Structures are given as structure tokens and as C-alpha cells.
Amino acid sequence: MPVEVRIPTMLRSHVGGAATASVDGATVREVLDNLVAAYPALVGQIVTPDGTLHKFVNVYVNDDDIRYLDKLDTKVTDADSVSILPAVAGGS
């Protein structure tokens, strides 16, 4: 069953401008793999080549940061909303 994935503004041009995508997967990793398979321009932007979450990307399942759940192995169902958000940081 598909999961709703919220796409951050800076990646929307890679998914034809969409703000959300409906993607199959039982874990966050599967959902992201399927998302990238559907939109190859996303390769390397969310998950690094060695299969870990990019340092400057945060992924939430509903209100929970996956880094505090099971990371990319966090299970998801079609009732969940997966949000991809860039890290927003800087300094003086």
C-alpha cells in the first residue's frame, strides 16, 4: 500500500514539481528506493551511495525523526506520512 511522501521545495523540480508523492514500501528505505527509482534525478540526494541517510537530510515518519526510530529500517504503513526535509543551518 502506498505511503504519502512529502517532498521539500528544493527537490520538487526533480519530481516534476510535485509537493507529495505516493510511494510503495514497508520501510523508509524501501519507500526512498522506490521514490528514487521513479525519479532518478533524486539519486544521491537523500540516501548516500553507501546506503545511509545523507547528513544534511532529515526524514520524519509522522512526527518522529527516523534517526530516533529505526533509521532507514523504520517500518511504515499507508497510514503514515514520510516527510523529507533538508537540514537548514549556517553560522556567523
Alpha carbons 29 and 72: distance in angstroms, whole number: 5
Choose, by CB under 8 A, the member of 6, 14, 54, 71 that binds other proteins.
Answer: 6
Q: What residue has cell string 537523500?
A: 46
- Collapsing DSSP states into helix, strand and coil, what is residue 34? helix
Smaller CB distance to other proteins: residue 79 or 89?
A: 89
CB of 86 to other proteins, least distance (A): 4
* Gap between the Cα atoms of 72 and 75, Å rounded: 8
* Rounded distance between C-alpha atoms, residue 11 and residue 5, angstroms: 12
Cα-flanking dihedrals φ and ψ of residue 23, to 5°?
-130, 140
Name which position in 50, 51, 63, 77 contacts other proteins (CB under 8 A): 63
Kindly write out the interface string for residues 11-30 of this chain, putting x where it contacts other proteins by CB under 8 A and - elsewhere. Answer: --------x-----------
Nearer to other proteins, 37 or 65 (CB): 65
The residues of the shown chain that bind other proteins, judged by CB under 8 A, are 6, 8-10, 19, 56, 58, 60, 63, 65, 83, 85-92
